[in-house]
Amino acid sequence: ESRGCVLDRVRTWLATRDGPGAACVVVAEPVIVRALVLAVLGGGASMEHALDVAPLSRTVLVRHRTWRVRQMGMPLTGGE
């Protein structure tokens, strides 16, 4: 699957998570996390190389009127 296809698929999925205060937990490979962040920021697949997502890290997206990146690549700590 091409990067563009992954990004399109993630954008479509993210669009179904609507409404203020929408929340969900996604456990995913870094490629999907990068695609989610790009979808929120309105970036293209060619920008994927500019995002560094460490394995076993936490990225937080929040929705108010639109999706926003609150945190990206935060290390997981014990007990969370």
Domain total in the chain: 1
Read off the tokens for 47: 């920008």
- The pair of structure tokens assigned to 20 is 């203020």
- Domain around 42: 3-75
Residue 35 in domain: yes
69 forms bridges with which residues in the sheet?
61
Q: How many CB atoms lie within 10 A of CB 15?
A: 10
Within a domain: 80:
no
The rounded distance, in Å, linking the Cα atoms of 51 and 37 is: 9
Q: What is the pTM (predicted TM-score) of this model?
A: 0.86
Q: Look at residues 35, 39, 80 and name the one whose alpha carbon lies nearest to residue 57.
A: 80
Angular region, 12: left φ>0, alpha ψ -120 to 50, beta rest: alpha
- 21-72 pLDDT tens trace: 667 788 899 999 999 999 999 999 999 999 999 888 999 998 888 889 999 9
